[in-house]
Amino acid sequence: MTSFNGDCRKKLWDNLQILLKEVRSLGYVDTVLIDGGFTSDKQITKDVDVALVMPPASRVSSDPDLQSRVFAFILGFWRWHDDIEARLAIDVYPNLEWGNDFGLFFQYVKAEEASRRGISPDDLKGVLRARI
């Protein structure tokens, strides 16, 4: 990869646009969380971390069509994840109200990064939340 202002982030940005187009086509994800080296001050970054904010459980359970589409997506998720990672260099996961919370995970600051920045490892960092 190249420098901070070089082709690396441009290529990752272009790849992110491809992913967002695919995600929009699902019809039920309208927000993503973006994190990782792509959003940092790292000179070289290898990928983008993305969490798809899935519809709330109350909406999914009250709509049989949405329920079947969301469950089908989750069942086939790992195959799709591996394809996206290989094709676009994006590490993507569903952010489920009833499961994992990548919003919190993305806020975590590693101890070595906290030390380098002169902050406490208990401090949280911001996360890019985008409507798509």
Alpha carbon distances (Å) from 5 to 12, 50, 81: 12, 21, 27
What's the mean pLDDT when you consider all of the chain?
Answer: 90
How confident is the model over 59-91, as pLDDT tens digits? 999 999 999 999 999 999 999 999 999 999 999
Per-residue pLDDT of 83-117, as tens digits, reads 999 999 999 999 988 777 888 899 998 899 899 98
Q: What is the rounded CA–CA span in Å between residue 63 and residue 61?
A: 6
Domain assignments of the chain as residue spans, ordered by start: 7-131
pTM over 0.95: no
DSSP label at 56?
P
Choose which CATH entry (1.10.10, 2.30.30, 3.30.310, 3.30.460) describes domain 7-131. Answer: 3.30.460
Q: Is the pLDDT of residue 118 over 80?
A: yes
